C-alpha cells in the first residue's frame, strides 16, 4: 500500500493542476536538474487588474506599515529582468510606498557571482516571477532593502550559487519562489539553503498534495504554503481557506525535524506557514515586458516573498536556522478547503485545512508579528 501511494504521489507531480482552470502557469515545465517558477496569473480578464494592494494585505495580516529598515531581503530568480527596477518603481509609487532604487541604495541587482555586469540573458516567464517577488516583498516590508540576484539559468547549481551570493552580500532573508519534486539528488544541494543567521524562505509549490518540492522540503528552510484570501464581514475583516493549488507532502528523503510533531508523516512535512497564493484572490503586480502592465498574480510564488517581508518586519532573521520559531507563536489558523488534485488523502491534515497544524498552510498565516 505504501509503495502504491508513493507511485501515485510521484505521478501527481506531473499531472496538470486542477487549480489551473482559472489560472495559468507563468513558467512551463522544467527539465531534470532545473527549477520551475511558481508564479500563476489569473486568466479571467475581469480580474487581471483587480488584485489586492499592500494596504489590503497589511489589513488582512495585521501588519505595521513601517519597520525593517535595517533588513535586506534577497530575491533569487533565474535570468535577467531588464525592466525590474522601473516596474517596481511604478508599483511602489502607485501604492504610496517609499522609492526603492539603485540611486538611493535601496535596490541592487547582480548576477549569481555578485557582479552588476554582465547580467544573464532573459529566461521567459521568470521576468514575471521577478516582478511578483519584488512587489510582494515590498508590500510586506516597504522600508527593507532589496537585493535581486539573477542566476545564469534555472538550474539548481545556478540558483544555489545565487543563494550563497545573496548571503555573502549581506542578505538577512533570502526568498526562493521556485522548486522541483524532491529526489535522491536533493541532498547534494542542501548546503546552499543552510545559512545560520539568515532566514531562508521557499515556496512549497503549486501542485497540491503530492511529492514535496525542494528547496522548501529542507529542514533548514521555512516552507511557505498558500491560501485563498477574501474580505469578510467578521471581526478580522477577512477569511482564508486552503488554496487548492498549494503544495503539501511528506518527505521520503528528509528526516523529521525534532520541532515538527505531526503524527502521520515520518519525514519532513511541508508547509510551515502560509499566506495568500490563490491568483483568483491574489495581489496586484506590475510588469511590462510580458504582462504589459497590471495583473492579479498568485501561486506560492506570492506567499514566499511576502512571508520574507514579514520576517524582515519582525526583525528576528537570526532566529531562523529552521522554521521551529513558527511552531509556538500565534497565527491565523486556516480551517477549510483542501489541496487534493490527484491523490485522495481521506480528509487527512496532510491535504486538508484542519484546526491546528495542516500540510497546505502549516501553522497558519500571519496575525501581526508576534509569532515572527
Q: What is the pLDDT of residue 50?
A: 78
Beta sheet of 213-214, edge-to-edge order: 36-37, 178-181, 213-214
Q: What is the pLDDT of residue 341?
A: 83
- Evaluate if residue 42 carries a pLDDT over 90: no
Choose among 188, 190, 112: nearest CA to 149.
112
Contact 101, 107 (CB under 8 A): yes
Q: How confident is the model at residue 6 (pLDDT cuts 50, 70, 90)?
A: very low
User: And the C-alpha cell for 5?
Assistant: 501511494
Q: What is the pLDDT of residue 21?
A: 54
Over residues 319-332, the mean pLDDT reads: 96
3-state SS assignment for residue 348:
coil
Q: What is the pLDDT of residue 185?
A: 85
Q: How confident is the model at residue 335 (pLDDT cuts 50, 70, 90)?
A: very high
How many Cα atoms within 13 Å fall on the side-chain side of residue 75?
36
What average pLDDT does the structure give for the chain? Answer: 92
Over residues 142-167, the mean pLDDT reads: 98
Q: What is the pLDDT of residue 14?
A: 33
Q: What is the pLDDT of residue 312?
A: 98
- Measured CA to CA, the distance from residue 183 to residue 355 in angstroms comes to 31
**Residue 250: exposed, middle, or buried by beta-carbon count in 10 A (0-12, 13-18, 19+)?**
buried
Choose among 121, 130, 111, 96: nearest CA to 288.
130
Q: What is the pLDDT of residue 44?
A: 66
Choose among 209, 182, 236, 218: nearest CA to 358.
209
**229 φ/ψ angles, rounded to the nearest 5 degrees:** -115, 130
Q: What is the pLDDT of residue 347?
A: 87
Give every CB contact of residue 189 below 8 A, 6+ residues apart in sequence.
156, 160, 214, 215
Q: How confident is the model at residue 5 (pLDDT cuts 50, 70, 90)?
A: very low
- Measured CA to CA, the distance from residue 61 to residue 56 in angstroms comes to 9
Instruction: Give the residues across from 73 on adjacent strands.
Output: 146, 173
Q: What angle do CA 110, 112, 114 make, to 5 degrees?
A: 50
Percent of the chain with pLDDT over 70: 92
Give every CB contact of residue 4 below 8 A, 6+ residues apart in sequence.
none
- Measured CA to CA, the distance from residue 299 to residue 364 in angstroms comes to 17
User: And the C-alpha cell for 145?
Assistant: 532593502
Over residues 272-278, the mean pLDDT reads: 98
- Evaluate if residue 19 carries a pLDDT over 90: no
Contact 109, 82 (CB under 8 A): no
Considering the entire predicted model, what is its pTM?
Answer: 0.93
- Evaluate if residue 12 carries a pLDDT over 50: no
pLDDT in tens, 217-274: 999 999 999 999 999 999 999 999 999 999 999 999 999 999 999 999 999 999 999 9
Greater confidence, 342 or 20? 342
Over residues 139-147, the mean pLDDT reads: 98
pLDDT in tens, 353-368: 999 999 999 999 999 9
- Least confident residue range of 85-94, 98-107, 179-188, 213-222: 179-188
- Measured CA to CA, the distance from residue 18 to residue 48 in angstroms comes to 20
Contact 121, 48 (CB under 8 A): no
pLDDT in tens, 45-81: 444 457 999 999 999 999 999 999 999 999 999 999 9
Q: Where are the beta strands (DSSP E) in 288-342?
A: 293-298, 331-332
3-state SS assignment for residue 48:
coil
- Measured CA to CA, the distance from residue 115 to residue 118 in angstroms comes to 7
- Evaluate if residue 147 carries a pLDDT over 70: yes
Amino acid at each position: 500500500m505504501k509503495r502504491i501511494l508513493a507511485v501515485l504521489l510521484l505521478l501527481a507531480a506531473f499531472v496538470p493542476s486542477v487549480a489551473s482552470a482559472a489560472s495559468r502557469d507563468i513558467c512551463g515545465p522544467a527539465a531534470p536538474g532545473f527549477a520551475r517558477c511558481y508564479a500563476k496569473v489569473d486568466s479571467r480578464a475581469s480580474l487581471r487588474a483587480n488584485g489586492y494592494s499592500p494596504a489590503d494585505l497589511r489589513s488582512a495580516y495585521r501588519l505595521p506599515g513601517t519597520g525593517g529598515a535595517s533588513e535586506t531581503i534577497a530575491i533569487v530568480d533565474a535570468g535577467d529582468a531588464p525592466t525590474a527596477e522601473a516596474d517596481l518603481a511604478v508599483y511602489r509609487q502607485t501604492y504610496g510606498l517609499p522609492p526603492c532604487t539603485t540611486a538611493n541604495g535601496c535596490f541592487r541587482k547582480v548576477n549569481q557571482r555578485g557582479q552588476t555586469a554582465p547580467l544573464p540573458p532573459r529566461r521567459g516567464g521568470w521576468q514575471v516571477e521577478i516582478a511578483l517577488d519584488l512587489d510582494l516583498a515590498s508590500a510586506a516590508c516597504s522600508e527593507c532593502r532589496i537585493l535581486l540576484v539573477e542566476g545564469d539559468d534555472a538550474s539548481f547549481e545556478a540558483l544555489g550559487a545565487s543563494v550563497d551570493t545573496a548571503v555573502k552580500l549581506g542578505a538577512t532573508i533570502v526568498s526562493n519562489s521556485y522548486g522541483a519534486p524532491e529526489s535522491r539528488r536533493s541532498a547534494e544541494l542542501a548546503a546552499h539553503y543552510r545559512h545560520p543567521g539568515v532566514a531562508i524562505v521557499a515556496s512549497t509549490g503549486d501542485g497540491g498534495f503530492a511529492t514535496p518540492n525542494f528547496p522548501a522540503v529542507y529542514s533548514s528552510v521555512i516552507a511557505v504554503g498558500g491560501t485563498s484570501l477574501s474580505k469578510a464581514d467578521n471581526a478580522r475583516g477577512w477569511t482564508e481557506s486552503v488554496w487548492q493549488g498549494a503544495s503539501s507532502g511528506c518527505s521520503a528523503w528528509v528526516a523529521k525535524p525534532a520541532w515538527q510533531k505531526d503524527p502521520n508523516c515520518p519525514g519532513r512535512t511541508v508547509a510551515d506557514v502560509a499566506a495568500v497564493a490563490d491568483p483568483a484572490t491574489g495581489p496586484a503586480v506590475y510588469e511590462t515586458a510580458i504582462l504589459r502592465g497590471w495583473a492579479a498574480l498568485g501561486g506560492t510564488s506570492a506567499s514566499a516573498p511576502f512571508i520574507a517581508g514579514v520576517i524582515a518586519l519582525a526583525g528576528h532573521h537570526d532566529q531562523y536556522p529552521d522554521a521551529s520559531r513558527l511552531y509556538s507563536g500565534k497565527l491565523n489558523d486556516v480551517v477549510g478547503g483542501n489541496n487534493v488534485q490527484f491523490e485522495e488523502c481521506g480528509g487527512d491534515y496532510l491535504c486538508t485545512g484542519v484546526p491546528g497544524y495542516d500540510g497546505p498552510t502549516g501553522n497558519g498565516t500571519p496575525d501581526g508579528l508576534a509569532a515572527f
